Structure 1
């Protein structure tokens, strides 16, 4: 009986958050090690289905770097990177498109449907919603078929959300003349969140958030405003690979997104714990 009461208490705690975020859009960036962890991915997709069931409007944006690397290795193509971005020549583009906009996009959509939700994959072979231009580096180095999103077809995404479906979008965009371009998944998620004026943008990571000691998960900072985040960057508490992610979060907040979250996607039900509990499990960054 005590266990049953504890479950009821959890539902009561969640009720206030469910009411607060009902009808609100949350963009979720899925990628990295999470996509390769079958158990973690299962619980993330169940969380997404729960969110839609209780009235939130989740949108999934996914990368797929590890799956792409495996496909390149099978094709005996050596991956090339410049300043952290994948150089995408003709042969690489063909594989990126097959894996990212094809296999992974379809798999995630079908898996949501299998688990009891409703989803629609939005890609070049169905309905493309991301448009952009080739990305040029300050150094002048050529990245090939790599782009940045400049326009998002809001009407298609919002139409699916209105009919209680989860849009599933690969991090690729269409450029001038129908050219297909590979896009960084973080920046694609930011562009979609900004275009939709999302309540939340959630980055599913392989760390539990911003930490005072990057090597100690127990030092996580659960809530940060813009000024505090900048001070932590300046003081060196936030360093190396976390700096561009936090700076991207701050940039997104400046363009209409209300809150950005960084959470560990490997933690079971991390999405629900972050959104529907008072404490949360990751780092929430908000505009002052």
Structure 2
């Protein structure tokens, strides 16, 4: 009986958050090692299905760097990175398109359907919703077919959300001439969140959030204002690879998204714990 009462109390705690976010859009950026972790991925997709079931409007944007690297290796193509971005010639672009817009997008959509949800694969093979152009670079540095998103077809995404389907979008875009481009998954998710005026943008990562000591997970900071985040960068507390991620969060907040979260996606049901509990498990950054 006590266990049952405990479960009821958990539902009551969640009720306030469910009512608050019902009808609101949450963009979830999925990528990195999480796509290779079958157990973690299943729980993330179950969380997304739960979110949709209680009236939220989740949208998934995904990358897939490790899967791309494996596919390139099979094709005998050596990965090449310039300033952290994948150099994308035509041969690499063909592989990226096949893996991201093809295999992974179909897999994620079918897996959500298998788990009892409803999802729609939005890609070059079905309906493309991300449009853009070649990414401008300092000193005209050539990255090949690397692009950035300049326009999001929000009507298609919102139409699916209103019919209780979860849009699944790969981090690629097409130019007005039909040319395909490889896009950084973080920036693609930011563009989608900004275009939709999302309530939340969640970066599912392999770290548990912003920490006072980057090497100690127990020093996680659960809530930060934009001003506090900028001060932590200036003080050197936020350092290394976390700087561009937090700066991306701040840029997104400045363009209409209300809250941005950095969450460790390998924690079971971390998405639900972050959104539907008072304390959360990651870092929330807000205005």
- Taking structure 2 as the reference length, the TM-score comes to 0.99
Q: 1:69 aligns to what? A: 69
Give the CA deviation at 1:278.
0.1
Q: 1:83-102 maps to which residues of 2 (within 5 A)?
A: 83-102=83-102
Three-state SS of the structure 2 residue aligned to 1:178 is: coil
Q: 2:56 aligns to what? A: 56
Give the CA deviation at 1:139.
2.9
Tell me the distance in 1 between the aligned counterparts of 2:249 and 2:80. 27
The Cα offsets for residues 33-70 of structure 1, whole Å up to 9 and x where unpaired, read as: 10010000000000000000000000000000000000
Q: 1:29 aligns to what? A: 29
Q: 2:107 aligns to what? A: 107
Give the CA deviation at 1:132.
0.3
The Cα offsets for residues 173-217 of structure 1, whole Å up to 9 and x where unpaired, read as: 001310000000000000000000000000000000000000000
Consecutive unaligned residues in structure 2, runs of 5 or more: none
Q: 1:185 aligns to what? A: 185
Tell me the distance in 2 between the aligned counterparts of 1:183 and 1:139. 20
Q: Is the 8 A contact 1:136 1:143 kept in 2?
A: no
Q: 1:139 aligns to what? A: 139
Q: 2:241 aligns to what? A: 241
Tell me the distance in 2 between the aligned counterparts of 1:226 and 1:97. 35
The Cα offsets for residues 48-101 of structure 1, whole Å up to 9 and x where unpaired, read as: 000000000000000000000000011111000011000000100000000000
Three-state SS of the structure 2 residue aligned to 1:177 is: coil
Tell me the distance in 1 between the aligned counterparts of 2:191 and 2:170. 13
Three-state SS of the structure 1 residue aligned to 2:50 is: helix
The Cα offsets for residues 133-153 of structure 1, whole Å up to 9 and x where unpaired, read as: 101211321010110000000
Give yes or no for the alignment of 1:161 onto 2:161: yes
- Taking structure 1 as the reference length, the TM-score comes to 0.99
Three-state SS of the structure 1 residue aligned to 2:18 is: helix
Q: 1:252 aligns to what? A: 252
- Stretches of 4+ aligned residues off by more than 3 angstroms: none
Q: Is the 8 A contact 1:34 1:41 kept in 2?
A: yes
The Cα offsets for residues 109-147 of structure 1, whole Å up to 9 and x where unpaired, read as: 000000000000000010000000101211321010110
Q: 1:203 aligns to what? A: 203
Q: 1:286 aligns to what? A: 286
Q: 1:269 aligns to what? A: 269
